[in-house]
Amino acid sequence: MTLLSRITTPFTGPRRAHGDPLVWCAAITLAFLAVVLNRLGTPSKIVFDEVHYLPAARRLIALTSRLNPEHPLLGKEFIALGMLLFGDGPWGWRLPNALLGTLGFFAATRAMWWASLSRPATLLFALLLATNFIWFVLSRIAMLDMAMASMMALAFWQAALAFRKGSEGRNGSRLHLALCGVFLGLSLGGKWNGAPILALPGLLFAWDRWWALAGRRRGFLIARDAGPIPGVSLLEAAAWLGVVPLLAYFATFAPAFFYKVQPLTLRGLIPWQAYMLQLQDSVVKPHLYQSRWWQWVFNLRPIWFFYAPWDGAQRGVLMIGNPFTMLAGLPALLLCLWAGLRRGDRLRGAVVVLYVASLIFWAINGKPVQFYYHYALASVFLMAALALVLAGWWEKGRRWPGALTVVLSGMLFVGFYPILSAGALPGKNSYRDYTWLDSWR
């Protein structure tokens, strides 16, 4: 098979005989949830950017007026729902993101399974994502990033299912395309960070349809009898993956139409988006923990979400990536790039594209104040690249790299757990035990 024919085959990943590790994925997800919930209410005070989003959530509950208008509403709506159901306290603030993080974690593992049909890749990915620090920390704080990331994970789960079922001639692809579109829009409604990725499922569908219709492309837009999903025309796919996301995104603004002061109107919906963009670009005041994209790649500038004596002990929350897997994933990305270009490996090539797409926005835009948590989506694709490389070796009988990586990642997670989860620390200078580099302080 030539490189071109490999690239133009439907995006379904290689076929393998391994059984679906659904039970293991569910077990790892439940274990992840249990660890996230431990000390979820600690510290019992507002930390880091919760100072912006908790008051905004309270405004949403009261429907008084806009607050924190530079971001869309979905993440704040989830926080508000937590307050309504569980009270305006630490558990009410943070439980929505704990549940979203758990749901998104499970969705990410299912996306890996349906894209790869590889049991080793799926389980390695689950263990690496659970211990990459970033997903865990963002699941324990009342910020907007997990609403965005979890909805994106759900979207990719549905996209992988749609393409898989389409390639196998099974029913249900249309429903999964529609759900993918809904979750893409909700991801944008959480935060705009994933915007560069939103068009990729639709572009992939168009690419596959173009090559599937080789020799008869006159009906490119309306043809239904070709891959990647027979029975769905490109125009219909554009509706599911283009129009539906926009409708879902705009639907997240529904509460703003009922504000007592300056309620949103249909006429003002589009201008509000421009106003949000203007506010985003207006943040220029330097911050102690601001950083640049290349520092995220090499795990050089984390964020102290919290460090103070509170709740009877010295406690801290450090937003950082796993010191081993964040770096081990970089050569894995290069190996995936090589596999994509040299062997036409669609899945590995796609992971590289997704990593670059999730990072390039921050690399090229002129926003001066950026933070490490903007690396959240890219870190997921980084773990996917590492899992795919290790799984490839595992399936060839070289299992020790995968086993060693999981053990090291897990040991580091256990070692850093107190500083990731606001555990009680021995003393005021305990941060020195975790800040291996001066830039981590």
Residue 259 lies in a domain: no
| pLDDT the model gives residue 18 | 59
Q: pLDDT at residue 116 above 80? A: yes
Over residues 416-421, the mean pLDDT reads 97
Amino acid at 11: F
| pLDDT the model gives residue 12 | 46
Mark 148-167 as b/e (b = at least 16 C-beta within 10 Å): bbbbbbbbbbbbbbbbbbbb
- Least confidently predicted of 168-172, 379-383, 434-438: 168-172
Which residue(s) pair with 310 in the sheet? 313
Residue 390 lies in a domain: yes
pLDDT tens string 7-33: 445 444 444 445 999 999 999 999 999
CA distances from 56 to 66, 72, 277, 369 (A): 8, 11, 18, 21
Over residues 387-391, the mean pLDDT reads 98
pLDDT tens string 121-165: 999 999 999 999 999 999 999 999 999 999 999 999 999 999 999
Over residues 34-38, the mean pLDDT reads 97
| pLDDT the model gives residue 222 | 86
Contact 333, 352 (CB under 8 A): yes
Residue 269 lies in a domain: yes
Residue corresponding to tokens 């993956």 = 241
Query: What is the three-class DSSP state of 314?
Result: strand
The whole-angstrom separation of Cα 2 and Cα 4 is 5
The whole-angstrom separation of Cα 413 and Cα 367 is 32
Domain that holds residue 136: 3-254+264-281+290-440
| pLDDT the model gives residue 171 | 78
- Least confidently predicted of 4-13, 103-112, 150-159, 364-373: 4-13
CA atoms within 13 Å, Cβ hemisphere of 46: 9
pLDDT tens string 280-314: 877 778 888 889 999 999 999 999 999 999 999 99
| pLDDT the model gives residue 366 | 66
Number of structural domains the chain divides into: 1
| pLDDT the model gives residue 11 | 47
| pLDDT the model gives residue 219 | 76
| pLDDT the model gives residue 411 | 98
Q: pLDDT at residue 1 above 60? A: no
Contact 318, 416 (CB under 8 A): yes
Query: What is the three-class DSSP state of 38?
Result: coil
- Least confidently predicted of 156-170, 236-250, 328-342: 156-170
Start-to-end C-alpha separation, the chain: 52
Q: pLDDT at residue 256 above 70? A: yes
Radius of gyration over every alpha carbon of the chain, rounded to an integer in angstroms: 22
Tokens of 54: 């908790």
Residue 413 lies in a domain: yes
Other CB atoms closer than 10 Å to residue 75's CB: what's the count?
29
